[in-house]
Amino acid sequence: MRLAFILSEIGSGLRRNVSMVVSVILVTFVSLTFVGAAGMLQMQINQMKGYWYDKVQVAIFLCSEGSTAPGCATGSVTPEQQQSLNALLESPAVAQYINDFQFESKEEAYKHFKDQFSNSPIVDSVTPDQLPASFRINMKDPEKYQIISETFSSQPGVETVIDQRQLLERLFSVMNGASLVAVGIAGVMIVCAILLIATTIRLSAFSRRRETGIMRLVGASKTVIQLPFILEGVIAAVIGAALASGTLWAVAHFFLGDYMSRQYPDTAFISSGQTLILAPALLILGASLAGISSLLTLRRYLRV
């Protein structure tokens, strides 16, 4: 009975305050979308780092069938060539710059590729044969990349030497900057949301002061009096958070999944499913923002 009563109170409160409730929904929607966008950018950065990014800096890709690089005149890399490259890496002239190195076979390359591009249709059209084997090198000093590059580029069996870190780092710094901007905007919007929720709850409490006065007199508990107001704010904020989660999912699904991955098939994008990890966080964030700000407001404006 009391639950039904509280629910009907919430319903009447939301109906009476429609315009304010809509504005709370929109403000939380926008602010949480920015929070989520920042989260999505970070997820995308992790996705692009792939298996090797945090472990090595430089990759020496070996020749495979159909390689056109000058070092690949003999076709696919032979075991002997691979042996000599391994020996070169272990030789003191090179070893002094290297912490350690690993060999990635075609099969391993295929496995890591599958993990990174699991969201992309490209994974179905790639076979282990098409992926080059490689030596992955962890440098003592990443700045010394040139030395490795010069030493190995001209070796037979080497297709190319790539400083992956340098390639990605510029992109990542742009993305990190973008997520900082998103967090900044989100911060301002969240302040807006908190103030707006507080104002809404205040108006709502004021427009129902007759009811709350009577409730107080007949001995309604603090919970019964305050809960409808708090839940009003929380419900509005949760709707906003749900809209934000939906928007992020749509961006991942339609923009990244359909458009961007067709434009840039060699880039790994996050899947729409991954953005759903953000949804509970956004819902909790929205609900607690609204709950706390309405609780503080009621303490001042609704005497019990």
Partner 1 sequence: MIRFENVTKVYDQTARPALDSVNLEIDRGEFAFLVGASGSGKSTFLRLVLKEDRATSGAVYVAGQNVAKISSWRVPRLRRGIGVVFQDFRLLPQKNVFANVAFAMQVIGKSRSVIRDTVPEVLKTVGLEGKEHRMPHELSGGEQQRVAIARAVVNRPGILLADEPTGNLDPTTSMGIMGVLDKINQNGTTVVMATHDDDIVNEMRKRVVELKNGVVIRDEARALYTSMIPVVGQSRRLKDASGREAHDDGLPGEGREGEAQR
Q: How far is the CB of 304 from partner 1 (least distance, A)?
A: 8
The yes or no reply on residue 219 touching partner 1 (CB under 8 A) is: yes
Q: How far is the CB of 11 from partner 1 (least distance, A)?
A: 14
The yes or no reply on residue 215 touching partner 1 (CB under 8 A) is: yes
Binding mask 192-211 for partner 1 (x = CB under 8 A): ------------------xx
The yes or no reply on residue 144 touching partner 1 (CB under 8 A) is: no
Q: Which of 75, 213, 265, 280 binds partner 1 (CB under 8 A)?
A: 213
SS3 100: strand
The yes or no reply on residue 18 touching partner 1 (CB under 8 A) is: no
Query: Which span sits near partner 1 by CB under 8 A: 49-57, 75-83, 165-173, 214-222?
Result: 214-222
**Size of the residue set binding partner 1 (CB under 8 A):** 17
The answer to whether 128 and 106 are in contact (CB under 8 A) is yes
Within 10 A of 213 (CB to CB), how many other CB atoms are there?
A: 11
Separation of CA 241 from chain center? 16
The yes or no reply on residue 220 touching partner 1 (CB under 8 A) is: yes
Closest CB to partner 1 among 6 and 183?
6
SS3 57: coil
The yes or no reply on residue 218 touching partner 1 (CB under 8 A) is: yes
Element (H, E) at 24: helix 18-49
Query: Which span sits near partner 1 by CB under 8 A: 92-100, 145-153, 176-184, 217-225?
Result: 217-225
Q: Which of 221, 254, 276, 277 binds partner 1 (CB under 8 A)?
A: 221
Q: Which of 5, 254, 255, 259 binds partner 1 (CB under 8 A)?
A: 5
Query: How many Å apart are CA 297 and CA 226, to the nearest integer?
Result: 11
Q: How far is the CB of 301 from partner 1 (least distance, A)?
A: 17
Strands lying side by side in the sheet with 158-163: 98-104, 134-139, 58-62, 158-163
Q: How far is the CB of 295 from partner 1 (least distance, A)?
A: 16
Query: Which span sits near partner 1 by CB under 8 A: 87-95, 115-123, 218-226, 264-272?
Result: 218-226
Task: Tell me the CB-side half-sphere exposure of residue 196, using CA atoms within 13 A.
Answer: 22
Burial class (CB in 10 A: 0-12, 13-18, 19+), 179: buried
Angle at 114 between CA 109 and CA 117, to 5 degrees: 120
The string of DSSP letters for 172-195 reads HHHHHHHHHHHHHHHHHHHHHHHH
The yes or no reply on residue 108 touching partner 1 (CB under 8 A) is: no
Question: Where in 224-243 is the site for partner 1 (CB under 8 A)?
Answer: 224-225
Query: How many Å apart are CA 92 and CA 49, to the nearest integer?
Result: 30
Angle at 31 between CA 275 and CA 25, to 5 degrees: 100
Which residues of this protein are in contact with partner 1, per CB under 8 A?
Answer: 1-2, 5, 210-211, 213-222, 224-225
